[in-house]
């Protein structure tokens, strides 16, 4: 399942770059240890997610 999510993200980012070509990745927030533990306790609800923050350049 993670492989499918990555491909979906790449497709969405390609579409977004078509609309906003001047995007710059500012920061990626990785899951904490607590976030990594939660899927082991309840895999159907909690998923390991990364957050990416972009800046729109002029």
pLDDT in tens, the chain (58 residues): 455 556 688 888 899 999 999 999 999 999 888 888 888 888 777 676 788 999 999 8
d(CA 24, CA 44): 33
Instruction: Give the chain's end-to-end CA distance (angstroms, integer).
Output: 36
> 55 with 24: CB under 8 angstroms?
yes
| CA atoms lying within 13 Å on the CB side of residue 4 | 1
**Residue 41 domain-assigned (yes or no):** yes
pLDDT at 26: 96
**Residue 4 domain-assigned (yes or no):** no
pLDDT at 27: 96
Based on the structure, what is the number of domains in the chain?
A: 1
**H/E stretch holding 26:** strand 23-29
Find the radius of gyration of the CA atoms of the chain: 14
pLDDT at 47: 72
pLDDT at 19: 92
**Residue 35 domain-assigned (yes or no):** yes
pLDDT at 22: 94
């Amino acid at each position: 399942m993670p492989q499918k999510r990555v491909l979906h993200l790449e497709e969405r980012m390609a579409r977004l770059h078509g609309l906003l070509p001047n995007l710059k990745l500012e920061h990626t927030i990785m899951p904490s240890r607590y976030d990594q533990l939660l899927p082991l306790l309840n895999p159907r609800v909690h998923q390991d997610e990364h957050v990416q923050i972009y800046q729109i350049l002029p």
